[in-house]
Structure 1
Amino acid sequence: MLLIAATVAADTVLTLLHAPAALLLGPLVMAIGFGVAGATLRPPGPLRLTSSTLIGCLVATALGPALGPDLLGHLPTFLLIAVSTLAMSLGLGWLLARLGWFEGATAVWGLSPGGAASMIALAQEMGADARTVALMQYFRVLLVAAAAIGLAHVAAPGMHAGPGKAWLGPVHLSGLAATALLGLVGAGLSRVLKFPAGIFLIPGLSGAVLMRLGWLHPEVPPILGAMAYAVVGWTIGLSFTPATLAHSARALPRIIASTLILIALCGLSGLVIGLTCGVDPLTGYLSTSPGGVDSILIIAASTPVDLPFILSAQVVRVILVLIAGPWAAGQVARWTQAKEEP
C-alpha cells in the first residue's frame, strides 16, 4: 500500500510537471527507493503478464493507424541495427573483460542485450559472477530508460506524459473484448513458442495489422494503461536490492561506466541511422536502444516519434537476440576465458 501511494503521488507530480513518460518514471523511481531500502515485495507473475499484454495492446492502438507497407523497404536497415547492437554489446563486454574491469566473462553476459533473466541464468551456468551480471543487466535496463526519457525531454519538450485521455473516459465493450482477445492470444503464443518478448510484441504487431485492416479495434482505458506502466516500473526498480548492491559495490562505478559507454555507442549508431534514413534523432536513438523493449515502447508511444520505425527495429533486434544472442555471447565468453587461462 505504501508503494502504491508513493507511486500515485509521484505520477501526479510528474504529470503536472509534464515530465516525459511520467507514468513509467514515477513507479520506477519509487520502486528503486523501496528496493534499496530492503523491501522484498515483487509484482506477482499474473500481474506482470497482464501488464505486458496491455502494453502490447497500447502499442497496437498507437501503431495501427500509422502502419504502412513502406516499412518493408527499411528491412535491411533494421537488420543492420540488430546486428550492430548485438556486436557492440558483445565486443564491449569482451574488451572490458580483457582490460580487467570484470572477472572472467562477467562483462560479456552483463552487457548482452537479451532478456535479463535468461542472461543471468546462462552466466551462472558458464561460471560467471551471477550477482554482478544481474546488477549490470538491471542497470542497463534502468539507464537505457533514463537516457531515453532524458533525451525525449530535450528533443520533444511538448510531449504528453501518459495515455493522454480522461482517466475514466468512455470505452466500448467491443474494444475491451478485442483487447482481452489480443492479450490471451499473445500470452498463449508466447508460451507455446517460448518467446518471452512475444507477450507484448505479438498483441502489438497483430493488433496493429488487424486495426489497419479494420477487423479489430482494441481499446485500453487510460487507468489500465497507467497500472500497466506502474507494474513495469516496479518490476525494474524492485530488482535493485541491498544484497545485490552490497555484493557489487566496489564494481558499481565500472558497471555504470560500461553501461553508459554502451548507451553512447548505440546513441551514435542511432544518430547515423537518423541521418541516413531521414528520421528524427530521437527515433534513431530509440530504435537502437540496447534492451528494455517494454520501457522503450512505453516512451515511444508517448512521444512524437516514428513509432512504426522504432517498433520494427526493436522487433528485429529481439528476434535476432533470441535466435543468436545466447550462442554468440557464449562463444565470446568462452573466447574470453580461453584468453585468460595461463
Structure 2
Amino acid sequence: MNRLNVNNSVHWMILSLLTIIIYYPFSFFTPSSIIISILVSIIYARKIKELRLNNYVYLLSQIIIGCFIGLSINLDDIISSNIPFYFLIFISTLLIILSLIVGLLAVKSKFLPGTTGLWGMLPGAAPVMIILSEQKDAVPGLVAFIQYTRVIFVSLLASTVIILHDHAKLQENLDQNSHYGIEVILFFIAIIFFIFLTLNFLKKNLNIFLLSILYAFILNTIAPPIKVPNLILAFGFIILGWNIGFNLTTKILIAARKSFMRVFFLITVLILLCYFLSFLLIYFFNIDPLTAYLATSPGGIDSIAIISSGTSAVLPIVISFQLIRFLILLFFGEKIVNFSYKIYIKFIDPKIENKN
C-alpha cells in the first residue's frame, strides 16, 4: 500500500471518528445525522483534496435512503386517514404552490443562480430534490444548502414539540427500530438484485435512488413489513452527507454564506405559510395540533416520518399528506420547476431569455 492510500485510510478513520463523536450526543434527533456529517466533512475535508467517496458506497447510501422512503409509503394510510382524497390533493398542491412562490422570490432577488431557489424551497424529501436538481440552471450544492437548512429548522421545531409531549414514546420507537433479523438482510439483497436486474435488462442509465423507492414499496406491499434499522439508516444519511460536504466547493460555501440571511428569511416565511395550512386541518377535520403540524411540515417525508413515528400524532394522516406531496414532486417536480421558471422568464424577467 503506498503512502497516499495509507494517508487516505487515516483520514477516513479520523473523519468517521469525528462524525460518530459529534453525532452521538445528538442521536436522539435521528435526521440530524446527515446534517452533522455534512458539517464535519465540510470542516475536515476542505484541505484533503484527494478524499473522495467510492461511487458504489454513495449508491449504497441512496439505496438505503430510498428503501426507507419506499417502506414509509403505505396506501392503506391514505385510506385509513378518513380524509377526502381531493382535500389531500388540495392541501398538498397549495403547499407546493406556496413553496414555488417563495422559490420565485429567491429567483427574483438573484442571489441564487438559475432554478436553484426553486429546487431549494420545494418541500419534498431533501435527497430527492438534490438528486433531481442536478440539471442545467441549478447548483446541487446550493440546493443542498437550502434544503438542509430548512430540514434543520423544521426538525428542531418538530423534535422540540415532540420531546416536550412524547419523549418516552419516541425513545421507545427508536429502540424498537434496531432489530437486525434475517428478513432485513434478505430485503436488501432482494432490492440490490432487482435493481441490478433492471439496469442490465433495460440497458439504460436509470435513477437507482428512484428504483430503490419503487422496489421497497412493492416488496413492502407483498411481503411482511419491515423497518430499516436505525444504524443502517444513519449510515445511509452520513454517507450522503459526506458526499454533499465533499462537493461543497469554496465557491459554493462563499455563495451560501453571503445568501444565508436571505435564505433564512425565505425559509421562515415558507414554514409560517405551511403551518398556516395546519389550521385548515384543525378547523375542518378537528385534527389534533401535533398531527396537523407534522402533516403540513415542509421538512420532507424522510425526516418527518422518522420524527413522527411512535408519537401520539396520527401517523396515517401525517404520512398521507407527506406522501401525496412527495409523489407529486417525485414524478412531476422537474416539470413543475421548468414550467414555473419559463413562466417567470416570460412574464417577470424576460431579460434572462434575451441573454440566452
Category of TM-score, reference length = shorter chain = 0.7 to 0.9
Which residue number in structure 2 is paired with residue 160 of structure 1? 171
Which residue number in structure 2 is paired with residue 258 of structure 1? 266
What aligned pairs does 1:5-154 form with structure 2 within 5 A after superposition? 5-15=17-27, 19-21=28-30, 24-36=31-43, 38=46, 41=51, 43-55=53-65, 57=67, 69-71=79-81, 73-98=83-108, 107-113=117-123, 115-122=129-136, 124=137, 130-131=138-139, 134-154=141-161
1:202-247 Cα offsets, whole Å, 9 max, x none, are: 355334433xxxx435464553333234334434555544320213
Q: Structure 1 stretch 319-328 or stretch 274-283: which is displaced more?
A: 274-283
Could you tell me whether the CA contact under 8 Å between 2:64 and 2:236 is conserved in 1? yes
Match of 1:309 among 317, 320, 326: 317
Which residue number in structure 1 is paired with residue 250 of structure 2? 242
Which residue number in structure 2 is paired with residue 296 of structure 1? 304
Query: Over the residues paired in the alignment, what is the CA RMSD in angstroms?
Result: 4.0
Deviation (angstroms), 1:88: 0.8
Match of 1:340 among 325, 349, 352: 349
Deviation (angstroms), 1:86: 1.8
Identity of aligned residues (%): 20
Q: Structure 1 stretch 66-75 or stretch 236-245: which is displaced more?
A: 66-75
How high is the TM-score relative to the length of structure 1?
Answer: 0.74
Q: Structure 1 stretch 1-10 or stretch 262-271: which is displaced more?
A: 262-271
Give the SS at the match of 1:5: helix
Q: Pick closer, same or farther for the CA change 1:220–1:106 going to 2, 3 Å.
A: closer
Q: Which amino acid aligns with 1:306?
A: V
Which residue number in structure 1 is paired with residue 189 of structure 2? 180
Q: Pick closer, same or farther for the CA change 1:181–1:239 going to 2, 3 Å.
A: same
Q: Distance in 2 between matches of 1:6 and 1:67?
A: 39
Q: Pick closer, same or farther for the CA change 1:218–1:135 going to 2, 3 Å.
A: same
Q: Which amino acid aligns with 1:31?
A: I
Q: Distance in 1 between matches of 2:301 and 2:157?
A: 17
Q: Pick closer, same or farther for the CA change 1:165–1:176 going to 2, 3 Å.
A: same
> Can you give the 5+ residue segments of structure 2 that lack an aligned partner in the other structure?
1-12, 352-356
Q: Distance in 2 between matches of 1:103 and 1:62?
A: 33
Q: Structure 1 stretch 73-82 or stretch 218-227: which is displaced more?
A: 218-227
Could you tell me whether the CA contact under 8 Å between 1:88 and 1:265 is conserved in 2? yes
Give the SS at the match of 1:216: coil
Q: Distance in 2 between matches of 1:120 and 1:182?
A: 24
Q: Which amino acid aligns with 1:29?
A: I
How high is the TM-score relative to the length of structure 2?
Answer: 0.71
> Can you give the 5+ residue segments of structure 1 that lack an aligned partner in the other structure?
125-129
Deviation (angstroms), 1:5: 0.6
Could you tell me whether the CA contact under 8 Å between 1:59 and 1:301 is conserved in 2? no
Q: Which amino acid aligns with 1:164?
A: D
1:274-313 Cα offsets, whole Å, 9 max, x none, are: 5544444343343334464433333334655333333333
